[in-house]
Chains A and B, each alone.
Chain A
Amino acid sequence: MTVSRFYSPQSIAEATAILRQQSGCQVLAGGTDLLVQMRNGVKQPEYIVDIKEIPGIRDVTLTNQGLTLGAAAPAQSVTERPDIAAAYPGLVEAIDMIGSTQIQGRCSVGGNLCNASPAADTVPALIAVGAVCHVVGGEGVRQVRVEDFNTGPGENCLKRDELLISLFIPRPGVGSADAYLRFTPRTEMDIAVVGAGVSLSLDPMGTVSAARVAIGAAAPTALLVEEAAAAIIGTTLEESALAALAAAAGAAASPISDKRGSAGYRTKVVGVMARRAAQIACDRAQQRQRRAH
């Protein structure tokens, strides 16, 4: 019922040591999911390990190679950066959809991923831009692709003594861009009925040369849908290609029916979101090409 101890480790090693020694630990970053879950009795951890004191874990760094998001960096520290939004507009849109302004001052992208909600907005957006997780545990360091990170609703691949330290997202090229769209009945303060993230690259002729399509709230975890990407690679996003993309996204979906939407509705609308996101990503990529010339 009650938390018996609250840890604030000052290093990764200290944190992983605590996780290894104590069972019943719950890692705390922004706490915007955890505190709600504790309040309504979904989670009742005995120990809390607050990782925010670990040096560098709240850092956000953009270089020519890419973006590194510290696992506990608040969403606000990403959304307030125009340079990041310019490089990864879709990802930043997804981050900006989380909760409210107040929530975004606390919540982290890393936490959104670890919470493993099938409907998390940042996860399909991260998958689309090829984000990789940097994980540290007692047995060392490993890299996990975001699409492989979550294993089911509320479940991820972290072992008991492992910690997500940061996410790395490679910098997109000149003809590349991303987009994320979700469907909600309201414009904000809502949870995705379905979501879709798309990143794509255009060759100088305007043909899609590479693409990644990810869908959310359409399966137990967010999915990378390679068939959907294949449907637009080699095309100029003509209607038939977009229709094939939408069909592939819908075919990959295996959603549940709940108070937020039926399985049938989600299956249909996830394709709509995917094709619209692809179109936006394509428009952005074309703009970048034009600007580069």
Chain B
Amino acid sequence: MPTVVLTGDLRRYTGLGEQGQIEEVQVQALNYRAVRRELQAMFPLLEDAVLDKYGVAIDGVMVQTPLLETLEPDSELVFIAKIAAG
């Protein structure tokens, strides 16, 4: 089952543990759209508007187009707050 890593302030929406702690959850989904559906079923506060504020890394690679990505059963998907560049 792919692993989803929720970092930073996402904890606020999951109600898991202390605010700010990194949290891992397992999902059945094998694409990003399904990951979101599953997460939102688990944590109703993780609305689209919240998740859209986060970037996504899959297996260590920052991806700009997660909708096009597929996941392997051992994949790791990380939500990371977006950053600004110089």
Touch test A–B (CB under 8 Å):
no
Q: Give B residues with C-beta under 8 Å from A.
A: none
Q: A: which residues have CB within 8 A of B?
A: none
